[in-house]
Structure 1
Amino acid sequence: MTTRGESTLTRTDGLTGAEVAERVSSGAVNRLTERTSRSVGEIVRANVLTRFNAILGALFVLVMVTGSFADGLFGIVLVVNSAIGIAQEYLAKRKLDRLALLNAPTTRVVRDGAVQVVATSEVVQDDLIELRTGDEVPADGTLTASAGLELNEANLTGESDPVAHDEGDEIRSGTSVVAGSGRYHARRVGADAYVNRIAADARKFTPTRSEIQESTNTLLTYITWVIVAALPIAIWSQWRTVGDQGWQQVVIRSAAGVVGLVPEGLVLLTSVAFLLSAVQLTRRQVLVQQLPAVEGLARVDVVCLDKTGTLTAGDITFDDARPLGDHDADEIRSALGALADDPNANGTLTAIAAALDSPGWERTGTVPFSSARKWSAASFEGRSTWVLGAPEVLLAAGPQPSAPQLVEAVRTEVSELADAGRRVVLLARSEEQLPSAAVHPQLPPDLVPVALVTLTEQVRPDASQTLAYFSEQEVAIKVVSGDNPVTVAAVARAVGLDAGEPVDARTLSDDPEVLRAALATHTVFGRVTPEQKRAFVHALQADGHVVAMTGDGVNDALALKDADIGVAMGNGAQATKAVAELVLLDGRFSHLPDVLAEGRRVIGNVERVANLFVAKNAMSLVAILAAAVIAVPFPFLPRHLTLVSAVTIGIPAFFLALGPNRRRYLPGFLRRILRFAVPSGAVAGVVVIASYLLAGSSEGVTADEFATRCAVATGASPATVAADVACWRPGSGATITLLTVFFWILVVLARPFRPWKAVLIGAMAGLAVAAFLVPPAAHFFNLDAPLPLVWQSLAAGAVGAVLVEVIYRTSPSLRVAHHEPD
């Protein structure tokens, strides 16, 4: 067996299977550092080791120590919440990981003398790697062969200009092939590869911005500080009012107030909403590589898209070759067939190869196609050099003064063909032979136009419907293509887009203000370079737009990375898919409305859920402060709040977070939550305290009896507790009032009503009533409410409900934000 070393770097047949196995066993493998999701351990830690779980866990232990196990029910809810979060994320992780594996980047390697395609993570040290246009360089090494190889090294250098590389040049991972082909041996893989060693600086992962996550994190920070401030107040006030009944009473009443301040299910339901949306989209052939991207597309107001692969099917077909002047048609077709006989052919040459046979000419020199040059060329033994490229580029380079009329005629014909929606390239010839290897290829000076080659693209049948949907949603479309602007405009009009006057991007300056003005007034841009696509994204963002960029080619990668949401086609280049937040696995642009709808559902539903949790937090804070000021016990036991939270917040929030919602996105997520939930929760807190005082004066026990009769049972027999049901009545009245107010908050947030929402609220109201009427449940929750107390508490709750309705109706922005189209 060949030993590892220099000998493996001179072989052209690659490693053997035994040599690959040896390197795998020694760890010389190109294991990637990026992961599609968190590990199982990280999932468990993220769902269990949180600040609020720590607070609730400590309170649970203290309540358990008092012996009042019923008041520790919130601890079970805590465990269930964490378990649901772990289970949901794990199931989503498995599905997303499987999809990511199916769509993972691959690399061509030569092993046992044959080219094989393996996962990039399975490349081993000394593997002979074959590179083609669109590939990412997976490891560091030295080129052993190069056929016009050009790399985009922007990830490493920040410069987007392609860099030519010849045999013997060092190439590094993290770059991508934009032209040509080559082979090299992988010398440094995995953690030793250059891109992994400088990942923090050169290829830094940029998480997708999420207004929901940012707002939730801000909200949780506020709530944490509220808890820190409220905890000592709660303990002090309850020690002052029920301290003579023992420390157990202080702990239980204080715990009730603090438990109400903790939004124990908010983070869970937000995460579950994201995860289930991602899983739902995979069923529609959309791979979500960053979960917040689901929300991000709902915030997008400008979509930049390429013509090829988006408006059209992406596969072009050869249409015709129209001779210019008296050039021989057979020779033209032979030259086209010879040019297309290229192992590294681009899309145009591939289409020509499918229609024309190769004449078998022997190549002596090649310049591969480059999106920056916009032409390719080849010289043949005993024959001319043939060049195929953009007409405007080749015409500008030829001996134009000698044939101005021909040039003008060609330009006129190109314009007419482009207006008809044809894709046009110019075939030209030169008698000057190409050098065998050129670092900076130049067009021959004696180019003669020979023929116009036309190709056609099939317009996607769903493109018109998709663009109409975005128009209805007030999302602007910018068609940004490297093709002839007239051709691009013709295709845009064919799918129903108001193309207006197309812009040739070569006429635009690099001034950001000029770009902003052009983008504000035009829709179609042709002859756009990769650098300009990126500049377009920046200009739109500078104007305050949230930008989505779609693409499938290497030249789209940088623009996709800088856009707010990058959308790659599943059949696109690996470099493009690697930087995109969303990958359309089947390449269908028509899936984007599904993603937008999912994003809107997540944003709208999470806002509803957050309002419920924050209203409870505000209520608890007001109740804590009011109880401290007027020196009364906290109105509730922890078990009371567990009941209220379950039927008015926890269970309804789960269904509301996952239900359908077609509401349009509006900025100001956190501001709207605070504007409604805080005053609504404050109203609930005030009416609850009032109801508690009224119930205590009419149905409770006297202050002198309270200390001896109303200690919460900590080991007392059921008979003893039953004898003191009068002690439960103030808390029962407050609970009825709180249920009334929070059910109305739920009604407000559930608008507009659908049958399933009415059933949900009705079922929750039934559970609440059952807790009072079913004796075992009433005993468990310490509830007793004679009919006069019920009417009195309902009246107090009705006052609160009316005030909540007033808060909602006096804020037009809230009503608009909660409006959901039929």
Structure 2
Amino acid sequence: MRKKKQRAARPQEEAGKRIPTTRYNPDYREGLTAQQVQEHRLHGWENLSVEPPSKTAGEIIHSNVFTYFNLVFAVLGVLLCLVGSFRNLTFLPVVIINTLIGIIQEIRAKNVLEKMNMLNAPHAKVIRDKREWIVTSETLVLDDIVVFSAGNQICADAIVAAGEVQVNESLLTGEADEITKRKGDKLMSGSFVVSGQCHARLDAVGEDSYISRLTVEAKAMGEGEQSEMIRSLDKLVKWVGIAVIPIGVILFSQSYFYNNETFRSSITAMVAAIIGMIPEGLYLLASVALAVSSMRLAKQNVLLHDMKSIETLARVNVLCVDKTGTITENKMSVHKAVPTKEYRKAREKDEESGEAKYPSLSLMLGDFAAAMSADNITMEALKEYFKENTGKKPVSITSFSSTVKYSSVTYEDGAYVLGAPEMVLREDYPRYQGKIQQYAQKGYRVLVFGQYHGVIDGKALTDKVTALGLVLLSNPIRDKAKETFRYFAEQGVAIKVISGDNPETVSEVARRAGIEHAERFVDASTLKTEEQVAEAMEKYTVFGRVTPNQKRQFVQALKETGHTVAMTGDGVNDVLALKDADCSIAMASGSEAAAQAAQVVLLESDFSCMPSVVLEGRRVVNNIQRSASLFLVKNIFSFLLSIFAAVFMITYPLEPAQVSLISMFTIGVPAFFLALEPNKSRIEGHFLTNVFLKALPGGLTDVLAVGALVIFGMTFGVGSTDISTAATILLAIVGFMILYKISLPMNALRRIILIGCAIGLVFCGTFLNQWFALSDMSTKCIMLFVVFSIATEPVFRYLSFTVEKIREWYRKMRGREPEQTYPELPDNER
């Protein structure tokens, strides 16, 4: 081991954290010593991320406490204290409890997900003290010798010390070409190994390399990438936040200066109006429900890199799946090797001449497999099946590449290749096509083994290949594959099978897995233009011979036609498509690069759990949508009643305590329980439109009933205190009508919620009436109240009917998307 004389530079941003340290250049077989590792660690040269992947507990508390609406509530609370209206501070405990619930649930979710992340963090194989260790990538230090093989993401900038790999730097450069890296070449963090294996010395770690920013970008949602639901809530909160201040000023000015109310009464009325307009619990409810869903999925061994994917999955209408690892088990077995006529002729010549140039086909394949590293499931299967070999020594090897679709071993007497028939045989493929298709139609994956009459350079083959044998491999179909795909068919989710294998093989496997229209397949190598790709995505179900870049094209083509696309994968060649999909799902048993690029990771690599993940998404979105309409009823009512009060120059008729009472028992408590209920309904339409149209009849009913009550009360000389009490009870009646309608169809839990809230409201109104500013009503007020309470039911019913008719008309005007049709294909396209 040799020490380097230079000292590591001390970055400005790391001042106080890192100190200069000695650089080492260890032998790749020995690695750093424990003492050298400890030295780098103490000096701060570990491979730590530039920023944490999630918020700290302090940041969670800060973000929940110091919000715009909490500031508004604080100001309103101070104003009420100044005028001595302490009983109207009843909204503050609700705000505090909501904030605490948000903090507790978010911290709980953070802790659960951090434990999951810790258990499933990216790991690396490192050489230290002449031994091989498996450690998390963040515990690596400068100058560590790391072993990189196919599927690994380069976790820090490194220099190849021994071996050879092909890497994809598309995440850095945008170019999908595979680059061969040999001794002395630099490996860039954020790229990933496609094939081969090498030992590399880490040259830049932590924030000095690209990996921290790339990992955060791959995992976290950037600005503008929020789900539709959160985006809609943000928009609602923004506009309400802008509106409350001018409305509050207008209401106070009108009450105090024009209606000659006392300062206390004017402040109280203004606070009541603003509290009614603020959806204080809605955003919190959505955050809590998403956090609870993340925890539920974590218990099912499903890891979410972001919560956006819960909603997106629930809205998916096209699911792109790979054959291997999704439809089939992530393992492969060799069925047999079939010699070709050329091989038999060569053996006959050997026997006639007495030479032994061509031993048995199984021995030749054994030599080939022995020379290769087991960096993919195909090679693992070959090594397992072809154990016997002649011990022939290779001169050079080329690992399998998903771009050229072959691997090779070169000996002194020539080069041999193994790969996809179309790519290996090229112009000679038609001679073998019939036989290959016979095996492919039985579900076998067919590889061609042959002798190459040229020089291997890692690029597409150009010289002649003499085919010596066909290797037949197969993947067992997953146990619950049929059940899983039947579920998606019932839910109207179209399946697209995208694979690098022979399209006929993939089609047969897809048919056996129960995928609808699996007989409609196409060879992706024939799709040359964007128009052909777009047309094929609508026409076909199975796509074979797909390149990594084409997978990305397919996802983009589906998104451009308005589909919400989920992409599953477990291989290195899936990473680009995973990053472009609306929702990406990776198998943990697959490549590390795929797991890091995906939003959802199935830790047990069991695709059959996907229906439960989709159902969880539907549960949370549908329930939040239902609960959100409860909140919006209050907001619509308060907003319209404020305008009504301003136009007719009357003082807002409610007090803050009364608004809090109604909100608690007709909105807050039931919304929380309803948001956590099972819900399997399909999500249709846009979130804000759905919520607004559900809330509109209730909000209008409230405004008409309370507005009419106020006008008639003033006409008949009913006191403002009586009107305020009557309006509160009237709002409670309408609130329970809305709650009943939203809860349909009723079940035991919903009945308990409804009855429990009604009892709670009656109890507070009877025994705590002074706290909530409720008083005995005069005879005139009771008569008016009875009339308007009877009128609320038909008004609510007819408004609901009218809104539904308008909604149906709107749907017809927009037009529904035509159902996907599958025209009959000619035989030559099947």
Is 2:662 the counterpart of 1:638?
A: no
Q: Which deviates more, 806-815 or 315-324?
A: 806-815
The residue aligned with 1:251 is 267
Residue 364 of structure 1 pairs with residue 402 of structure 2 = no
Measured in 2, the distance between the counterparts of 1:173 and 1:189 equals: 9
Distance 1:2 1:298, change over 3 A: same
Secondary structure of the 1:11 match is: coil
Q: Does 1:503 align with 2:522?
A: yes
Q: Which amino acid aligns with 1:735?
A: T
Does residue 454 (structure 1) correspond to residue 445 (structure 2)? The answer is no
Change (3 A) 1:792 1:66: same
CA distance in 1, matches of 2:506, 2:149: 27
Does 1:24 pair with 2:41? Answer: yes
| 1:284-317 deviation per Cα after TM superposition (whole angstroms, max 9, x unaligned) | 2211111010000111110111011111012111
The alpha carbon displacement at 1:571 in A equals 0.8
CA contact (8 A) 1:162 1:178 kept: yes
Give, in angstroms, the shift of residue 68 of structure 1.
2.6
> By how many angstroms is 1:37 displaced?
2.5
Secondary structure at the counterpart of residue 400 of structure 2: strand
Determine if contact 2:398/2:408 at 8 Å carries over to the other structure.
yes
The alpha-carbon deviation at position 530 of structure 1 amounts to 0.2
Tell me what 1:271 maps to: 287
Query: Does residue 1:155 correspond to 2:186, yes or no?
Result: no
Consecutive unaligned residues of structure 2, counting only runs of 5 or more, are 7-22, 348-357, 811-830
The Cα shift of 1:752 comes to 2.5
In structure 2, the partner of 1:413 is 435
Please show how residues 46-61 of structure 1 align to structure 2 within 5 Å.
46-61=63-78
SS of the residue corresponding to residue 748 of structure 1 reads: helix
Provide the C-alpha distance between the structure 1 equivalents of 2:290 and 2:220, rounded to a whole number of angstroms: 24
Task: Work out the CA distance in 2 between the residues paired with 1:570 and 1:136.
Answer: 14
Q: Which amino acid aligns with 1:72?
A: L
Structure 2 letter corresponding to 1:618: I
Report if aligned partners of 1:340, 1:358 keep a CA contact under 8 Å in 2.
no
**Residues 1:807 and 2:799 aligned together:** yes
CA contact (8 A) 1:278 1:291 kept: yes
Change in 2 beyond 3 A, CA 1:269/1:158: same
Look up the SS of the partner of 2:332 in the other structure: strand
Name the aligned partner's letter for residue 284 of structure 1.
Q
Query: Residues 639-668 of structure 1, C-alpha deviation per residue, up to 9 Å, x if partnerless?
Result: 111100000010011011111112211122
Paired residue for 2:532, among 514, 520, 529?
514
The equivalent residue for 2:404 is 373
* 1:231 counterpart letter in structure 2: G
Of 687, 692, 696, the residue aligned with 1:669 is 687
The alpha-carbon deviation at position 632 of structure 1 amounts to: 3.5
Match for residue 193 of structure 1 among 202, 209, 230: 209
CA–CA distance in structure 2, aligned partners of residues 565 and 505 of structure 1: 23
- Counterpart position of 1:183: 199
Which residue is 2:823 aligned to?
Answer: none
User: 2:280 aligns to what SS in structure 1?
Assistant: coil
SS at match of 1:124: coil
2:408 counterpart of 1:389: no
Q: How far 1:200 sits from its partner (Å)?
A: 10
Q: Does 1:39 pair with 2:56?
A: yes
Query: What is the distance in 2 between the residues matched to 1:545 and 1:302?
Result: 7
Distance 1:531 1:152 in 2: 12
Quick one: which amino acid aligns to residue 762 of structure 1? I
Q: What is the SS of the residue equivalent to 2:774?
A: coil
1:676 is displaced (CA, Å) by 3.7
What letter matches 2:761 in structure 1?
Answer: A
Query: 1:541 Cα deviation (Å)?
Result: 0.8
Tell me which residue corresponds to 1:781: 772
Q: 1:528 is paired with a residue of what secondary structure?
A: coil
Deviations 1:58-96 (CA, angstroms, capped at 9, x unpaired)? 101221233332210111111110000000000010001
**Given the two structures, how large is their TM-score scaled by the length of structure 2?**
0.89
Q: Distance in 2 between matches of 1:810 and 1:108?
A: 66
- d(CA) in 1 for partners of 2:296, 2:435: 49
2:96 maps to 79
Matched, 1:422 2:415: no
8 Å CA contact 1:689, 1:734 repeated in 2: no
Structure 1 residue 195 displacement after superposition: 4.6
Are 2:360 and 1:331 equivalent residues in the alignment?
Answer: yes
- SS where residue 635 of structure 1 aligns? coil
Task: Give 1:304's aligned residue.
Answer: 320
Name the CA shift for 1:199/1:316 in 2 (closer, same or farther; >3 Å).
closer
1:476-555 equivalences in 2 (<5 Å): 476-497=494-515, 498-509=517-528, 511-555=529-573
Deviates more, 1:440-449 or 1:578-587: 440-449
Q: What's the CA shift for 1:782? A: 2.6
> Match of 1:770?
763
Take 2:512 and 2:251, find their aligned partners in 1: how far apart are those partners? 69
Partners of 1:202 and 1:222 in 2: CA distance: 31
Which string of whole-angstrom CA distances, capped at 9 and with x for unpartnered residues, describes residues 550-577 of structure 1? 0000100000000100111111111111
What corresponds to 1:736 in structure 2? Answer: 729
Q: Which amino acid aligns with 2:731?
A: L
Q: Which amino acid aligns with 1:748?
A: K
Note the C-alpha offset of 1:235: 0.8
Contact persistence 1:335–1:386 (CA under 8 A): no
For residue 756 of structure 1, give the secondary structure of its aligned residue in structure 2.
helix
Partner of 2:752: 759
Cα distance, 1:623 vs. partner? 2.3
Shift of 1:411: 2.2
Q: Among residues 663, 672, 676, which one is paired with 1:654 in the alignment? A: 672
Over 3 Å counting, the alpha-carbon distance change for 1:787 and 1:414 in structure 2 is farther
Aligned residues of 1:140 and 1:171 also touching (Cα < 8 A): yes
Tell me the alpha carbon deviations over residues 772-796 of structure 1, each in whole angstroms, 9 at most, x when there is no partner: 333xx12222323459555642441
Cα distance change, pair 654–503 in 1 and its aligned pair in 2 (3 A): same
Cα 1:222–1:442 shift into 2, 3 Å: closer
Cα distance in 2 for residues equivalent to 1:92 and 1:798 = 46
Letter paired with 2:758: A
Contact preservation (8 Å) 1:302, 1:477:
yes
Measure, in 2, the Cα distance between the counterparts of 1:616 and 1:203: 37
1:623-634 equivalences under 5 Å are 623-634=641-652
Aligned partner of 2:416: which letter?
W
With 193-202 and 791-800 compared, the bigger mean Cα shift is at: 193-202
Question: Given the superposition, is the C-alpha separation of residues 250 and 317 from structure 1 closer, same or farther in structure 2, using an over 3 Å criterion?
Answer: same
CA contact (8 A) 2:166 2:181 kept: yes
The counterpart of 1:213, out of the listed 230, 235, 259, is 230
Rate the CA distance shift 1:197–1:753 in 2: closer, same or farther, 3 A.
Answer: closer
* Aligned residue type for 1:622: L
Q: 5+ residue gaps in structure 1?
A: 401-406, 702-726, 818-822
Structure 1 vs Structure 2 CA RMSD: 2.6
**Alignment equivalent of 2:159, drawn from 142, 145, 148:** 142
Query: Residue 349 of structure 1: CA displacement?
Result: 1.4
The CA deviation string for residues 396-442 of structure 1, in whole angstroms up to 9 with x for no partner, is 27xx5xxxxxx65532211100000111111112476x67xx5x446
Contact kept in structure 2, 1:415 and 1:486, CA below 8 Å: yes
Aligned residue in 1 for 2:354: none
Offset at 1:385?
Answer: 3.2
What is the deviation of 1:546?
A: 0.8
- Pair 1:474-2:466 in alignment: no
- Matching of residue 227 in structure 1 with residue 244 in structure 2: yes
Give 1:446 deviation, angstroms. Answer: 4.7
Give 3-state SS (helix, strand or coil) of 1:313's partner: coil
Secondary structure at the aligned position of 1:30 is classed as coil
Whole-angstrom distance in 1 between the partners of 2:507 and 2:180: 33
**How far 1:812 sits from its partner (Å)?**
3.7
Q: 1:330 to 1:321 in 2, by over 3 A?
A: farther
